[in-house]
Amino acid sequence: MSLQTAPASLNPDRLRWIDYWVGVPICFILTVLSKVAGVFSRSGTGQPDTPANVLFIELAEMGSTVIACPAVERLKARHPGCRIYFLLFKHIDESVKVLNLVPNDHVLTIDVSTPGTLMRDTWRFMRQSRRLRIDTVINLETFARFSTILTYLSGAARRVGFHPFTQRGLYIGDLFTHRVIYNPHIHTWQSLLGLVDALQANTADLPLGKFPAAPDDVRLVPRVESPEAARRRVRALIEGESPAAAGKRIIAVNPNASKLISIRKWPIDRYADLVARLVEHPDNVCVITGVASEKEDARFIQNRVNSDRVIDLTGKTTLRELIDLFNVAELLITNDSGPAHFAALTDIPVLVFFGPETPQLYKPLSPNCRVIYSNYACSPCVSAYNQRRSPCTNNRCLTDIPVEDVYGTVLEMLEASSKIHQ
């Protein structure tokens, strides 16, 4: 089984169109129904005073599940007896399972391959959440209407999420019981932690979030080890692609990024030039990673470099095997995307390109991460406030980063890594 490609139905612009034109009226209707039901409902919810069955919702982005780890661990520490569940799209369910945040049978999914499966699984989720007696939902997404709708349809008495308050154009109805203000000036893991903290706040003291932001720690995410057998399998996979890779220093290269924010990519020809420079050293082998649909970029690099020490593993690894690769490689070079965050589960040094988004919010939670960021005045141009849709047609914040500068940084990181392993 390889890393799964997002269904064709997950066209970013189509999703945004549906989220607005379908999501807004549904949020409005559910808000009206909620207010009417509140008038006629009896006092008391029949649910426990403290969380007993908690559901986290993070539907679409794999890397965000890693950033959510501190929030999940905070909830476990504060409510050790509660049962925790996670809801996400089916094609990325491995992202939660590999983290071991919750038991595998506590991972709930929605298949968005077709409109039919979407409606079927939404109905199934409504029944599941009631069968599991979900009493608390923490919506980790920012101003996404579908996840907000699911939060309400769960039937939970406590519903926590980011509320837009006075931000125009971000209408999500009034479906949360715990309305937290979103802070775009602290790291996302700190914002998500605030959602858990809001459970203990007075819901009338709006906006929720009146507590100190959590301080940075050395390691905020779990360490995922790779047994020796798994390391051997990864090396065998690489050497099976090219015997010339045997015994060489492995440099992982991820030239791709989610279609949701495709302008996060450093140009593919720059990646090819960088790889060409790296394989000039006889001890280096560059392994190109990605899902099967990203094979075209890997082939471009291979054809441009024309070396038997450039290996294409796109579509040939599971997420777990990708982490095993990170545990045997000396360095990961990547765009701001999911692999950068999953690399934080290992000790691999990571070099990440940032441009349309800011590392202040999304830098991987790894002490071994270095960022290349132009810090242009127009950056970040994507945010929670515009559904991560930028008007930019020329991402110079990335295209203006020269190969020579990146190559120099890579050499520094490889040298530091070699000293650590001596």
**Cα–Cα distance, 304 to 276 (Å, whole number):** 8
pLDDT in tens, 11-26: 777 888 888 999 999 9
Q: Per DSSP, what are the bridge partners of residue 350?
A: 332, 369
240-254: buried (b, 16+ CB within 10 Å) or exposed (e) per residue? Answer: ebbebbeebbbbbbb
Confidence band of 125 (pLDDT split at 50, 70, 90):
very high
Supply the DSSP symbol for 301.
H
* pLDDT surpasses 50 at 184: yes
pLDDT value, residue 421: 53
Instruction: State phi, psi for 89 to the nearest 5 degrees.
Output: -65, 145
Question: How confident is the prediction for the chain on average, in pLDDT?
Answer: 91
Instruction: State phi, psi for 54 to the nearest 5 degrees.
Output: -110, 135
Burial of 51 (0-12, 13-18, 19+ CB in 10 A): buried
Q: Per DSSP, what are the bridge partners of residue 178?
A: 160
Section 187-213 average pLDDT: 93
For 150, the token pair is: 């699911």
For 310, the token pair is: 């450039």
* pLDDT surpasses 50 at 1: no
Superfamily in which the 228-421 domain is placed by CATH = Glycogen Phosphorylase B; (3.40.50.2000)
350 or 4: which carries more pLDDT confidence? 350
For 224, the token pair is: 């995922």
* pLDDT surpasses 80 at 42: no
From the list 259, 370, 385, 239, the residue with the least C-alpha distance to 308 is 239
For 287, the token pair is: 């392994």
pTM: 0.93
Any idea where the domains of the chain sit in the sequence? 12-200, 228-421
Element (H, E) at 252: strand 249-254
Percent over 90 (pLDDT), the chain: 79
Say if residues 16 and 389 touch (Cβ distance below 8 Å): yes
From the list 16, 20, 7, 21, the residue with the least C-alpha distance to 89 is 7
Q: Per DSSP, what are the bridge partners of residue 249?
A: 284
Q: Say whether 228-421 and 12-200 share the same fold.
A: yes
Cα 386 to chain center, whole Å?
A: 18
* pLDDT surpasses 80 at 300: yes
Pairing mode, strands 249-254 and 369-373: unpaired
**Cα–Cα distance, 152 to 253 (Å, whole number):** 41
* pLDDT surpasses 70 at 326: yes
Burial of 7 (0-12, 13-18, 19+ CB in 10 A): middle
Superfamily in which the 12-200 domain is placed by CATH = Glycogen Phosphorylase B; (3.40.50.2000)
314 or 37: which carries more pLDDT confidence? 314
Confidence band of 399 (pLDDT split at 50, 70, 90):
very high
- Write out the DSSP string of 319-380: HHHHHHHHHH-SEEEEESSHHHHHGGGS---EEEEESSS-HHHH--S-TTEEEEE---TT--
pLDDT in tens, 47-83: 567 899 999 999 988 899 999 999 999 999 999 999 9
Supply the DSSP symbol for 3.
P
pLDDT in tens, 210-254: 988 887 765 689 999 999 999 999 999 999 999 999 999 999 999
For 229, the token pair is: 């057998």
* pLDDT surpasses 60 at 3: no
pLDDT value, residue 266: 96
Quickly count: other Cβ atoms within 10 Å of residue 417's Cβ. 18
pLDDT value, residue 308: 97
